[in-house]
Amino acid sequence: MEDIIYGRNPILEAVNAGHEINKLLVLEGSKDKNLQKVINAAREKQILIQFVERKLMDKISEGENHQGVIAYVSPYHYYEVEELLQFAKDKNEDPLLIICDEITDPHNLGSIIRTANAVGAHGVIIPKRRSAAINQTVVKTSCGAVEYVPVARVTNITQTIKQLKTLGVWVIGTDMDAPLYYDANLTGSVALVIGNEGDGISRLVKESCDLMVSLPMMGQVSSLNAAVAGSIVMYEVIRQRNIKK
C-alpha cells in the first residue's frame, strides 16, 4: 500500500534522503523555479515523473495545498528502539531520545520531530495506540525532518522506559509541580517524555520517569502547547551539554 506526500520542500527532502518514491505527479505547464528543483532532483534519482492537470492533483490531495507536486511513496519504515541507541553510539554521543506519550495531533508530532532534528536528537519514540502516526500532515509539518529523524513505534511506552533505564538512559518528564527545568541536571544519556496535548503525561508513564521538571508559567495560561514545551526542554538539554564540553 502506498502513501502520498505533497509540497515542494517535504518531497525534495524525501528525494535527497533516498526515500523510496514510486512516482511523482507534477503540475503540467508550471514555470515555478522551486518546483523545477524537485523535478531535477527526481530525474537524477531516475524517479518516474508524470505531468498532470491541477484538477487531478487537487482531488488527490483533497484540496490541500500540494504546491504543484505529489509523491507516491512506500509506507514509512519505523525503527527499533535499539537502533536509535546504536545511532547515538555510532556518533560517539550520549543518547538523546524524545518519547511522545499519546501525542494525537499530527501537527504537534511533526513539530516535535522538526525540533528533534534541529537539536540533533537520535530518535523519536511513539506508541502504536492512541498516537498520531507518520502521515502526510506529520511530514509536511516537520518540513521534511522526518526523513532524517528515525521514529520507533512501540507497543508499551512504560515498558520501553524501563528498558531504557536498564541501559543507563535518564528518563525525564514534565509536570507543573516539579522543579524548574533549568535547575535540573539534564546532561548524560537522556530520554525526554512529552505528554498528551490535553492531559499531559499519563500516570503510569509519570511514575516510570526518573525525574520530573516544570516550565515557569508567569501569565494567565497554565500550560503550553506540547510541541512548544518539548522544544524548550530539548534546547536546555543541548545548552547543558555544550557547557559540559
Full DSSP string of the chain: --EEEESHHHHHHHHHTT--EEEEEEETT---HHHHHHHHHHHHTT--EEEE-HHHHHHHTTTS--TTEEEEEPPP-PBPHHHHHHHHHHTT---EEEEESS---HHHHHHHHHHHHHTT-SEEEEESSSS--S-HHHHHHTTTGGGTS-EEEES-HHHHHHHHHHTTPEEEEE-TTSPBGGGS---SSEEEEE-BTTTBS-HHHHHH-SEEEB----SS-----HHHHHHHHHHHHHHHHHHH-
- Extract the C-alpha cell encoding 134: 507518520
Tens-digit pLDDT profile for residues 169-192 = 999 998 777 889 999 999 999 999
For domain 3-73, the CATH superfamily is Ribosomal protein L30/S12 (3.30.1330.30)
**Predicted pLDDT of residue 40:** 93
pLDDT over threshold 70, residue 222: no
The CATH number for 81-244, chosen from 3.10.129.10, 3.40.50.300, 3.40.1280.10, 3.40.1260.10, is 3.40.1280.10
Domain range annotation of the chain: 3-73, 81-244
How far is the CA of 182 from the CAs of 72, 175, 178, 201, in angstroms? Answer: 44, 14, 12, 20
% of the chain at pLDDT higher than 90: 66
Tens-digit pLDDT profile for residues 9-68 = 989 988 988 888 999 999 998 888 889 999 999 999 999 999 999 999 999 988 888 999
Tens-digit pLDDT profile for residues 109-162 = 999 999 999 999 999 999 999 899 998 889 889 988 998 999 999 999 999 999
